[in-house]
Chain A
Amino acid sequence: MKNKILLSAFFVIAFYSCIERQNFDQYDDLEIIPTVEASILYIESPERLLNEIPGQDFYSQDYNFDGFSEDVFSERVLDGFIFYEIENTTSKEMEATVEFLDEGGNTLDTQYFHIDPAPTPLVQLQVAYGTGRSIEIIKNTSSIKVSVRNLGDNSSVSSLPDPKIIFRSSGKFRLRLK
C-alpha cells in the first residue's frame, strides 16, 4: 500500500509540469540597430605645395569610396552624420568643396567650406543624413570628390611650424540589422 502511494506521488510530480503562457511573436518586435562610426577620408598637404602650384585650382581628386554602397551598409543604414574638420596652419585663405558622387559620376550632394588663413580655429561641421539631407545620398555614394581652391597667393609662408592644410572626416550611422 505504501509503495502504491509513493508510486502515485512520483507520477503526480512527474506529470504536474506546466508552462506559463509564452508569446514568441515578441521576437518580431526585436530591433537590432547599432550605431557605428569610422573615419572616411584624410587629406593633408604642406604649404610648400600650395606655393608650388600656380593659380587658384590647387587640388581636385575623385576618390572611389565603396564603403557606403556596399550592400551590407547601404541596405541597412537608417540615418547618421558626416563630420568634417579642416585644420589650416598655412597663410592661405582657401575654399574646399566635397562632393558625393554616384556610380555614374553624378553629384548627389555638395558641401562647401571657406577656410581663413592661419591663425584660424578648426573648421568643424556636422551634416545630418536621414534626419536632415536624404539618406539616399549616402546609400548611392560611390565616390567622393574633393576640390581645394587657393584664394591666397603662391609665395607667403606661415609663421607656424610645419604649416599644412588638413582635411579630416568621419561618419556615424545607425544600421538596422534586424
Chain B
Amino acid sequence: MKQGKQVLLSCLLGSIFVTAQNKQILYDFTEIPQALMINPGMSTDFQWYAGIPVLSGISLQAGSSGLTVNDLFADDGVDFNVKVREQAIYGMDIRDELSGAYQVELLNGGFRGRNRDNFYSFGIYNEGDAIGYWFKDYAILAFEGNADQLGRRFDLGHLKTRGEMLNVFHFGINKRVNGALTLGGRAKIYSSAFNFSSTNNKGYFVTNEGQNNLLANTIDADLELRSSGLNEIEDALDNDSSLLPGILTRRLFFGGDLGLGIDLGFTYKLNKQTVLTGSLLDLGFIYSSTDVKNYTVKGSATVEGVEVILPDAFSSTNDDFWQNLVDEVEALVPYGTNSNSYIYFRPTKLFGSIRYNWGEASNPNMDCDCNYMVSKRKDYTKYANGAGGQLYMINRPRGPQAALTAFYMRRFGRAMALKTTYTVDKFSWSNIGLGLNLQVGPVNIHVMADNLLAYGNLADSHYSSFQLGLNIISWGAK
C-alpha cells in the first residue's frame, strides 16, 4: 500500500507538472477528429463525428525543466539536504519551471455542411494549466539567509507564476478553399472558474553596511498577485467542501469570469505530396471581475534598526521606538489588497509543420461514402508514409517557449495509423513520442504518449504527456 502511494506520488510529481500543452503527436494527425482542435484549418474529409462525452479527448501533460523527482528522492544514500542544495537551490535557473496542463473534452462533435467544402465542429472542453518559474533568489534567501551577503541583491522579480481552470465553449468552421488550401477558424467563449497570476514583480532586498548603524537592510518592492475566484473556493474548502462542486460548476458554465478568443489555422499543399500547415490558438482574453482579490506590496525602505539621536530623542523618551520603526516600514512598503477587475490573456500557442508524403495512396479516387475517411476528392488522398517537421511555440510569463519536432507517420490501410515523434525543447533533448489511431468498426480510438525513453524510470523524467480519445464515427453519408 505504501509502495502504491509512492508510485502514485512519483507519477504525480514526476509528470503532472509538465511543459506546456504541446500536442506534437496529435498535431496534423488527420485521422483523428481532435486534431482539428489544434489546427482548425486541418485538411479533413470527415462526414461527421461525435466524441464520446468526457472520453473523446483527455490529455495530461507535466514538466519540470530543472529537476526530477528522482534527483531529490532517489534512494541513493546522499544527504537530502545536499541534494536540495545542489540540485534545486543552486542547480536550477530562473528559467526553469514546473508546469502542468490538462484538458478534458466534455462534448465534441462535427459535421459536414450542405456545402461539402465546409466542415463544422463544436463542443465544450475543460482545461487547466499552471506554471511556476524557479524563484531562485527567494529560495536562496530562505535557505541561506542574508548574513555575510553584503551588497547582494536578492531579486524579488524571480517570483513568476500563473494558473487557471476554465471551460471553453467553441464552434469552428473548416473550409476547403480549393484543392490546395484549407482554412479554418474557431470562436471560443471562455468561462473561468479561477485564475491567479503574479508575473510582473520587480524589486530587490539587499543588506549593506549602514550609514549610521552596522547594517542597513533595504527592500525595494513592486509585487502583485492577482486572483479571481479563489476566495470563495478557499472558504468552501475551509468551511464546507460540499459546496465546492456547485461553485465550480456554476463558474464553469457562464457563472464566472467570461472571455473571448479565436483559433486560426490553415493547410496548404505545396504540391501533390508536400503539405504546409499552421495554426494560432487561444488568441483571446478573459475579464476577471468575479471574486477578485489582488495582493500588492509596493514601496521602498531602508532599516538600520532603532535609531536614537540625542538630544532630539530627549523630547520623545516615552515613544515606542520599535513600534515607530515598524509603522514607518509599513508606511513606506505598504501591503495592500484590492478587488480591482482585470483582463488577462490566454497563453497563445502557435503550431506549424511541413510534411512530405509518399508511398501507397490509401484511398485514391474512391467514390463512395462508406467511411468518413473515404473521400471523393483526389486532394484528400492519404499516403502510406509521411515525414516532416513541426514547430510549436507558446507565450509564457518569461517569454515564448519553443519546441521542434521531427515526425514520421505510417498508415496501415484505414484501420490503423501510427505517428512517432522526436521533440527537442527546454525539458528534454531525447523526447520520443508515439501515437496510435485505430478505427474499429464505428469506433475511433487514439492513444498517445511521449518521452517514452523516460518510461524506464518515470521519476527521473523531466516531461511526460498522455492523451487518449474515443469517438463514434458514422459510416453512412451525411
Contact = CB atoms under 8 A, between A and B. Distances in A.
B7 A19 contact: yes
A10 B436 contact: yes
Contacts of B1: none
B384 interface: no
A20 B72 contact: no
A160 to B, nearest CB: 18
A6 B412 contact: yes
Contacts of B142: 32, 34, 177
Most buried by A among B142, B143, B213, B215: B213
A41 B75 CA distance: 48
Contact of B305 (A2, A20, A169): A169
Nearest to A52: B311
A49 interface: yes
Query: What is the interface of chain B mostly: helix, strand, loop, or mixed?
Result: mixed
Interface string A29-45: 11110111111111111
B6 A24 contact: yes
B320 interface: yes
A37 B215 contact: yes
Given A3-B415, A44-B310, A23 B456 contact: no
B303 interface: yes
Contacts of A18: 455-458
Interface stretch (B129-137, B144-152, B250-258): B144-152
A140 B69 CA distance: 42
B213 A49 contact: no
Contacts of B81: 29-31
Contacts of A26: 72-73, 80
A80 to B, nearest CB: 9
Interface string B1-20: 00000110111001000000
Interface string B408-421: 00001101101000
What bracket does the count of chain B residues touching chain A fall in?
Answer: 35 or more
B79 interface: yes
Interface in B1-49: 6-7, 9-11, 14
B217 interface: yes
Interface in A36-84: 36-46, 49, 59, 61, 63-67, 83
Given A22-B74, A24-B73, A7 B416 contact: yes
A24 B4 CA distance: 13
B350 to A, nearest CB: 29
Interface in B138-174: 141-148
Nearest to A21: B75
Nearest to A67: B322
B152 to A, nearest CB: 12
Nearest to A146: B308
What bracket does the count of chain A residues touching chain B fall in?
Answer: 35 or more
A40 B311 contact: no
B322 A66 contact: yes
A126 B207 CA distance: 20
Contacts of A169: 213-214, 305
Contacts, number: 169
Contact of A38 (B212, B303, B308): B303
B280 to A, nearest CB: 32
A169 B74 CA distance: 45
A30 B80 contact: yes
A69 B165 CA distance: 42
A148 to B, nearest CB: 10
Contacts of A19: 7, 10-11, 14, 457-459
A54 B436 CA distance: 96
B306 interface: yes
A35 B75 CA distance: 29
A29 B82 CA distance: 11
B80 A85 contact: no
B94 interface: no
B210 interface: yes
Interface in B291-313: 303-311
A73 to B, nearest CB: 13
A13 B452 contact: yes
Nearest to A20: B457
Interface string A121-151: 0000000000000000000000000000000
Most buried by A among B75, B217, B449: B75
Nearest to A29: B80
A118 interface: no
B289 interface: no
A49 B309 CA distance: 11
A76 to B, nearest CB: 12
B73 A23 contact: yes
Nearest to B466: A14
B214 A83 contact: yes
A122 to B, nearest CB: 11
Contacts of B7: 19
Interface of B: 6-7, 9-11, 14, 69-70, 72-75, 79-81, 84, 141-148, 207, 210, 212-217, 303-311, 317, 320-323, 326, 412-413, 415-416, 418, 434, 436, 438, 447, 449, 452, 455-460
Interface of A: 2-3, 6-7, 10, 13-14, 16-24, 26-27, 29-32, 34-46, 49, 59, 61, 63-67, 83, 85, 168-170, 172, 174-175, 177
8 contacts: A3-B413, A19-B459, A29-B79, A30-B81, A34-B147, A40-B306, A168-B210, A169-B305
Given A20-B459, A42-B210, A64-B322, 14 more contacts: A7-B436, A14-B447, A17-B455, A19-B11, A22-B70, A22-B73, A27-B73, A30-B84, A34-B147, A35-B144, A38-B215, A42-B307, A43-B309, A64-B323
10 nearest interchain CB pairs?
Answer: A34-B145, A39-B305, A17-B455, A39-B213, A35-B147, A45-B310, A26-B80, A42-B213, A23-B75, A170-B214
